[in-house]
Amino acid sequence: MVLAQLIISGILIGGVYALVSLGLTLIFGVMRIVNFVHGDFLMLAMYLAFWAATLAGWSPYASLFVIAPLLALLGAGIYWGVLRLAVRKSHEASILATIGLSIIVQNVALMAWSADYRSLHTDFTGSVLEWGGLRISVPLLIAFLVALAVTALVFLFLHFTYAGKAIRAAASERYAAALMGVNPQRLFTLCFAIGSALVGVGGVLLAPIYSVYPTVGEQFLLVAFVVVVLGGLGSLQGAVVGGLVIGLVETLSSYFIAPSMKQLVYLLLFIAILVFKPSGLFGKRVEGVGVDE
């Protein structure tokens, strides 16, 4: 029964990890950008959910419909204003640009909201469902179900819309897609906006579960990088599977070893992947790997 409880909890949190990682792997799969500001977007979404609930009394699940579009606009603006120029120079320039943006966002948050930890309490905080002797956290279950629905919408968008097919084509062969009339800059802006919106959704879902502070994004960015590498760089399917695996590893190691050791366990897994299978579970060691692999 204890093992079943741990597995269910791991799968639930893993689903949210998968959603957070989807945006990161989408941006890398199409744009080949390692986005270090991704975690800070999650932090901003958590703060926006907190202040929307504190100042306006909004439920975080209702504010999601406002915060996700705001993060999408912010992502599109940052790409068009900063990263568009860095991408044209080199991979190193784009990486340094995202690191610089991450430092700026964290320090602005620190000046605006201080380093205090804040917790978002909702009607579901502390609520659990009991079924067959198992106890399931209601906020975590809601987060998993919303993450599952959003993930399904992303896959439907990529496979059944013109823009989604253009994204997959550019991820597979960027120059051929450009020759077929796909505008690279518009596509990159769209990808960065979608990736930012996805991590915004993830931040809102995590706000009732975790405390928010200016550097909270670093914790989840580290998890997202491990998930993306485990699943395979640029593979959306891999991000989903990797998120579930890391959720299980984190939960099981917290119980059977120690809560303070959970990061060490999945970081050791991260190193093992880099040593023995650098391409990940679903990635390929080829230049053309993309979001449809």
Inside any domain, residue 245: yes
Inside any domain, residue 285: no
Inside any domain, residue 229: yes
Residues 6+ apart with CB under 8 A from 110: 214
State the distance between the two ends of the chain, measured CA to CA, in whole angstroms.
37
Inside any domain, residue 291: no
Span 246-266, pLDDT tens digits: 999 999 998 888 888 888 888
Report residue 292's pLDDT band, with 50, 70 and 90 as the boundaries. Answer: very low
Inside any domain, residue 142: yes
Domain that holds residue 67: 2-276
Span 158-184, pLDDT tens digits: 999 988 888 888 777 777 777 777 787
Residue position matching structure tokens 């080949």: 32
Residues 6+ apart with CB under 8 A from 7: 248, 251, 252
pTM (predicted TM-score): 0.90
Report residue 267's pLDDT band, with 50, 70 and 90 as the boundaries. Answer: confident
Structural domain count of the chain = 1
**What are 198's two structure tokens?**
């996805």
Inside any domain, residue 98: yes
Inside any domain, residue 67: yes
Inside any domain, residue 287: no
Span 37-75, pLDDT tens digits: 999 999 999 999 999 999 998 988 899 999 999 999 999
CATH code for the domain of 126: 1.10.3470
Return phi, psi of residue 128, to 5°.
Answer: -135, 150
